[in-house]
Amino acid sequence: MFKTILNTFANCLKIPELRSRIIFTVLVLGVCRLIALIPVPGLDGAALAQFFERNAQKGGGLLGMYSLFTGGAMENCAIGSLGIMPYISATIILQLMSAVIPQLSKLVREEGGRAKIIQYGRYLTVLLCLGQGFVMSLAWENPEKVFGEGFSGNLVLVENLWWYRIQTTLLLTTGTLLLMWLGEQISERGIGNGVSLVITIGIVSRLPQAMTSLWFMFFPPRGVQTNYNMFHAIALVLLLVAVIAAVIAVTQAQRKIPVQYAQRAVGRKVYAGGTSFMPLRVNYSGVMPIIFAQAILMFPEKIFFTLAGVTAQSMAGFSKVCEGIAVALRHGSAPYIALEGLMILFFSYFWVATQFNEIQIADDLKKYGGYIPGVRPGQHTSDFLHRAMSRITLAGAIFLVVIAVLPTLLFTWVGIPFEVGQFFGGTSILITVGVMLDTTRQMESHLLMRHYDGFLKKGRMRGRF
């Protein structure tokens, strides 16, 4: 199997067009990594990077998750500190607005409407970058309030604060727009989805740090004792293989709804009927429910701790209640894990409800003479699709809950370093595996066009058709 994969990659380099696309993609991703390493002028990025390194064992958090998506750019005070996330946020906002605003929903279905939506997404990205860039400049200006009392020192090295704020905001906005443009260039001239690859390369860049922590788990420095042995190492390897296999299976899993098309005449042309199928993905919402749930759950702890500190003198009883709630909602606690699971379930159904339009699908089937065998066209088809999607969404949501809480359980209960545990589940493994599968499919399509074998012996990846 390993030899077959190596031969397949060698065949990829034999095709001139595919070889140029792969080289172009690698070079552009290298530029993306440089953007995550070049610091903003006037900031002491080394001090913040050392602080993050010292506190790497304290678990995730909103800052940790954001730093993961930016590939460590935020902790380096780099010009790519905002990452590609403002563009992703703008795209998600427009997708949700298209489901509730009739004008945008109509624009999506019109010819050329998709280009307009992309254009609006770019404008919204600029606005989000300006706002987030200014907020991040203030955060670097007051690091002890954002990163915790454990941070000592000053990141800003210039005296004119307003010039620093304006310069930093513009540089961070430019860095995000450059990443967005580079991602679009990869999609057009390279291989794979450019924006997804930009996020993935940032996540994979943490792999050497995770491997170093994993090495010291089993082979600590002289004089330091360890509680792990080779049996733990074998168990971790088996767990990683099982998680990757499960993610691949669920990512490609789909329920195929059979669709029968009747013979119809359009003008003088007669179109023959046939049988096809409608694929309904088990994990329709992808990684979005985990991102929504984790982002929202990072705020209650800080809010209740702040309320406890403000009311400590005037309302001692209320202050103790707020402090107790904050401790209960701390990352890794049982209430936190339970709330995270419930929110992932909620957002899984919320995303399907806003993005999967069974009424429009039923109308389109009726319009083109298609029907599901045993189900009447129209409202009955819409109800059937709604029930089918609800059932498979439950399976996908439960899978997302297990994958999301696995790194937290490994960190809290087993004592696995957080930078190691994040590769055993959560957003990291879902995004990385999904993007790698998509990129592999595109490479395989080029190979099959040139009559080369694909990554598997039959030349076809399971789950594609």
Q: Label residue 240 exposed, middle or buried (CB < 10 Å: 0-12, 13-18, 19+).
A: middle
Cα 151 from Cα 48, distance rounded (Å) = 8
Highest mean pLDDT range out of 43-57, 219-233, 309-323? 219-233
Identify whether 114 is part of a domain: yes
DSSP letters for 326-395: HHHTSTTSHHHHHHHHHHHHHHHHHHHHHH--HHHHHHHHHHTTEE-TTS-TTHHHHHHHHHHHHHHHHH
pLDDT at 178: 93
Q: Which residue has the higher pLDDT, 390 or 422?
A: 390
pLDDT at 464: 38
Give the number of domains in the chain.
1
Q: Report pLDDT digits (tens) over 299-312.
A: 777 777 777 776 76
User: Residue 212: is its pLDDT beyond 50?
Assistant: yes
Identify whether 75 is part of a domain: yes
Cα 113 from Cα 4, distance rounded (Å) = 44
Mean model confidence pLDDT for the chain: 80
Residue whose token pair is 């190691």? 420
CB-based contact 17:25 (threshold 8 Å): no
Q: Report pLDDT digits (tens) over 81-120.
A: 888 888 888 888 887 787 778 887 788 777 777 788 888 8
Length of the chain (residues): 465
Identify whether 330 is part of a domain: no
Cα-to-chain-centroid distance, residue 258: 31
Q: Report pLDDT digits (tens) over 133-148.
A: 898 888 887 776 666 5
Identify whether 36 is part of a domain: yes
Residue 126: pLDDT band with limits 50, 70, 90: very high
pLDDT at 220: 79
Name the strands in the sheet holding 254-261, side by side, starting at the edge strand that comes first in the sequence: 274-281, 254-261, 370-371
Identify whether 371 is part of a domain: no
Q: Label residue 225 exposed, middle or buried (CB < 10 Å: 0-12, 13-18, 19+).
A: exposed
**pTM for the complete prediction?**
0.79
Identify whether 322 is part of a domain: no
Identify whether 424 is part of a domain: no
Identify whether 28 is part of a domain: yes
Cα 48 from Cα 139, distance rounded (Å) = 12
User: Residue 61's closest CA among 287, 301, 339, 421?
Assistant: 301
Q: Which residue has the higher pLDDT, 358 or 415?
A: 358
For residue 55, the enclosing domain spans: 1-203
Q: Stretch 309-328: mean pLDDT, rounded?
A: 76
User: Residue 352's closest CA among 435, 281, 249, 296?
Assistant: 281
Domain CATH number, residue 128: 1.10.3370.10
Out of 69-73, 79-83, 180-184, which region has the weakest mean confidence (pLDDT)?
69-73
